[in-house]
């Protein structure tokens, strides 16, 4: 195209149209900070907010962390509230990011991280672990999360193998996921029906919770969180190209099947890890990405990092409500995410002038 005019002016509107939405990013980072501060300072134990914050800041290397808190108060901050906030950030980010990745990879606005049977597989795994009474743990690995993780990953693997038999269309993969999910849910229902004494325990697992005891869950989840974020962020532009469909993406020099496989398998790993630690927290993976699209548009370059921030902040704030609204009891987090998230999403939908899906 060397005979086309080279003009500096022509480039300006391109630069403007592709500019990164820093304003939205600053707002999202602000939301994360607000959520973390609120999550650490608010709780049933009355600890002053400045003392709470000083305690947290004191954990950072190189800062003298002498606060006026008693050892018990200090433990509430560093062993209960802070790990719970960090876990909330990671789970919210993971579910939102993997939801956005699934929606992009399948070109389907209704795809969520549970699409390929993760929820049903994790549910069955957890149910079997609870029913077989191994509930209190063998060694360092808690059996319920482990069983849930295995169940989730087996479900995705079956969906993937079954869905690719009839060709490589995304629809056949989604349909395989639906079939696998129904089958595993039926198995879970059967097992539960035979062991009605554990229904309550399984039900509470299904509703999801962020309750932690120390940093165990956080360290368990951290490697999956890091890997999932790094891989999916790297494939943002590839997901943009996939949005024109497999055939056109191939004419642009990509291998859409390979990209979809990498993105979906990575996202499934992240979602399975999140689900195994916290149970099934619905709604976040589908609503946060759509809300973010209404803010920054459909391009994955801005969408993916934004979902990490917004998803994390949203989950921590939802958890804050879950543990304070009926204090000292707690509401299931899955109830709060939908209860708060649905009106929030409708608000964004009403006020945004952007066209997305």
Partner 1 sequence: MVTSVLRVDDLTVSYNGERVLDGVNLELDEGTWTTIVGPNGAGKTSLLRAVVGGVDYEGAVEFKGSHEHSARDRALNVALVPQIPVIPPGMGVVDYVMLGRTPHRSVFASESRRDRAVVGDVMDRLDLTTFATRDVNSLSGGERQRVVLARSLAQEASLLLLDEPTSALDLGHQQEVLDLVDELRTETGMTILATQHDLTMAGRYGDDLLILNEGTVVARGNAREVLTEANISEHFGAKVMVIDDDAGPIIVPVVPTSAA
Residues that bind partner 1 (CB under 8 A): 1-7, 10-18, 107, 234-235, 237-238, 240-241, 243-245, 247-248, 250-255, 259, 293, 297-299, 301, 354-357
CA 239 centroid distance within chain: 18
Q: How far is the CB of 8 from partner 1 (least distance, A)?
A: 9
Closest CA to 306 of 19, 17, 22, 1: 22
CB of 233: closest distance to partner 1 in angstroms?
10
Residue 214 Cβ, how far from partner 1 at the closest point, in Å?
Answer: 37
CB of 100 to partner 1, least distance (A): 13
CB 164, min distance to partner 1, A: 17
- The closest of 226, 224, 214, 321 to 271, measured between CA atoms, is 224
* Cα distance between residue 179 and residue 72, in whole Å: 50
Distance CA 191, CA 205 (A): 15
Nearer CB in complex with partner 1: 16/64 = 16
Nearer to partner 1, 144 or 259 (CB): 259
Smaller CB separation from partner 1, 2 or 197: 2
CB proximity list for 55: less than 8 A, separation 6 or greater: 65, 67, 69, 74, 77, 78
To partner 1, the closest distance from the beta carbon of 10 in angstroms equals: 3
Which residue, 196 or 251, has its beta carbon nearer to partner 1?
251
To partner 1, the closest distance from the beta carbon of 170 in angstroms equals 13
- Residue with smaller CB distance to partner 1, 97 or 129: 97
CB closer to partner 1, 34 vs 244: 244
Taking the alpha carbons at both ends of the chain, their separation in whole angstroms is 34
Q: Which of 6/64 has CB closer to partner 1?
A: 6
Least spacing, CB of residue 1 vs partner 1, in Å: 5
Indicate the residue among 68 and 248 with the shorter CB distance to partner 1: 248
Number of neighbours of residue 334 by Cβ within 10 angstroms = 21
CB of 11 to partner 1, least distance (A): 4
Nearer to partner 1, 20 or 203 (CB): 20
């Amino acid at each position: 195209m060397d005979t086309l005019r080279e003009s500096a002016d022509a480039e300006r509107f391109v630069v403007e149209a592709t500019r990164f939405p820093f304003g939205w990013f600053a707002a999202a980072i602000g939301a994360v900070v607000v959520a973390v501060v609120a999550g650490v300072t608010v709780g049933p134990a009355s600890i002053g907010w400045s003392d709470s914050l000083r305690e947290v800041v004191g954990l950072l290397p190189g800062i003298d962390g002498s606060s006026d808190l008693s050892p018990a108060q200090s433990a509430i901050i560093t062993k209960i509230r802070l790990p719970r906030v960090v876990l909330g950030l990671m789970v919210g980010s993971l579910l939102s990011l993997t939801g956005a990745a699934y929606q992009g990879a399948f070109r389907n606005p209704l795809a969520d991280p549970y699409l390929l049977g993760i929820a049903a597989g994790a549910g069955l795994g957890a149910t079997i672990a609870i029913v077989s009474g191994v509930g209190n743990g063998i060694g360092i690995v808690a059996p319920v999360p482990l069983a849930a993780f295995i169940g989730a990953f087996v479900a995705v693997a079956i969906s993937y193998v079954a869905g690719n038999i009839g060709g490589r269309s995304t629809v056949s993969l989604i349909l395989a996921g639906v079939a696998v999910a129904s089958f595993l849910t039926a198995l879970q229902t059967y097992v539960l029906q035979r062991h009605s004494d554990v229904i309550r325990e399984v039900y509470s697992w299904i509703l999801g919770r962020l309750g932690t005891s120390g940093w165990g869950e956080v360290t368990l989840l951290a490697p999956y969180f890091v890997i999932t974020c790094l891989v999916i962020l790297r494939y943002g532009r590839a997901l943009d190209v996939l949005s024109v469909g497999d055939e056109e993406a191939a004419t642009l020099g990509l291998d859409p099947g390979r990209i979809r496989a990498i993105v979906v398998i990575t996202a499934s790993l992240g979602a399975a890890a999140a689900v195994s630690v916290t149970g099934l927290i619905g709604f976040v993976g589908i609503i946060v990405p759509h809300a973010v699209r209404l803010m920054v548009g459909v391009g994955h370059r801005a969408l993916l990092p934004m979902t990490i921030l917004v998803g994390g902040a949203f989950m921590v704030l939802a958890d804050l409500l879950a543990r304070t609204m009926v204090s000292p009891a707690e509401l299931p987090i899955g109830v709060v995410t939908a209860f708060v998230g649905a009106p929030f999403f409708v608000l964004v939908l009403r006020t945004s002038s952007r066209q997305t899906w």
